[in-house]
Amino acid sequence: MAVDNLEQRGQIAPPARQLEFSTTRKSGDYSYLLLLIPPLFIVIGATMFPWSGFSAYLHQSLNWGQLWDVVLPGFFMVLGCTVGFKLFKQQYAMRKVLREPVCVLGVVTKATEDGLRYRFRDLAGLEHEGEGTEYSGDYYEEMDVPVIYERENPKNNLPVSALYDQYEVHFKLN
């Protein structure tokens, strides 16, 4: 009976308790410059094509040595596009949440080295799930975790700890 009680507590988010929340960008944070690396890979790959003698391949059959000259620039371009897309998507989602954030307390349902999973209730009382890829070891299961979400779309959410690298975060219970 007591085990069932503990399992239920970990799966049900606490009632919505809104927190006062504010952020300011850290003055010495230049991590946004990392967003320049993926386009750099794309440019490197694109400039490698003319040097590889690509036009000669149109008139001959390909062998493995010639194919390598096409694969290597393509690899740089695909890597740049993939990493760039993921980074820009993450930054876009974070900025979208920070436009009009709502901060509430949630409960951690699973804490591993891979990330943090949590549940929270929005101000309307509906329960939502979320996960963050960062995990500092500060959270454990059934612990309260501050969560921010987008006012119009609570499914777009993240734990406040995801902001610690780039922002000074201040929050307190109302």
The C-alpha atoms of residue 34 and residue 84 are separated, in whole angstroms, by 10
- The residue assigned the tokens 């509430």 is 104
| Cβ-proximal residues to 146 (8 Å cutoff; 6+ apart), any chain | 19, 21, 103, 104, 105, 106, 159, 160, 171
Q: Whole-prediction pTM value?
A: 0.66
Residue type present at position 113 = E
The pLDDT of residue 6 is 44
Token pair recorded at residue 46:
């694109």
The pLDDT of residue 12 is 62
Which residues on adjacent β-strands are paired with residue 25? 167
Cβ proximity of 11 and 109 under 8 Å? yes
Give, in order, the Cα–Cα distances in Å from 55 to each of 51, 65, 66, 69, 77. Answer: 10, 15, 11, 12, 19
The pLDDT of residue 63 is 57
The C-alpha atoms of residue 47 and residue 49 are separated, in whole angstroms, by 6
The DSSP-derived string for 7-23 is HHHHHSPPPP-EEEEEE
| Cβ-proximal residues to 147 (8 Å cutoff; 6+ apart), any chain | 103, 104, 105, 106, 118, 120, 130, 157, 158, 159, 160
Q: Going residue by residue through the chain, which has 174 residues, state the pLDDT in tens, using 9 for 90 and above.
A: 444 444 444 556 666 777 888 787 877 777 778 888 899 999 988 888 776 665 555 555 555 566 667 788 889 899 999 999 988 888 888 888 888 888 898 898 988 887 889 999 988 889 999 888 766 677 788 888 889 999 888 888 988 888 877 788 887 776
Which residues on adjacent β-strands are paired with residue 84? none
Token pair recorded at residue 151:
């006012």
The C-alpha atoms of residue 145 and residue 120 are separated, in whole angstroms, by 9
Which residues on adjacent β-strands are paired with residue 149? 102, 157
Q: Where are the domains of the chain?
A: 2-29+98-173, 32-94
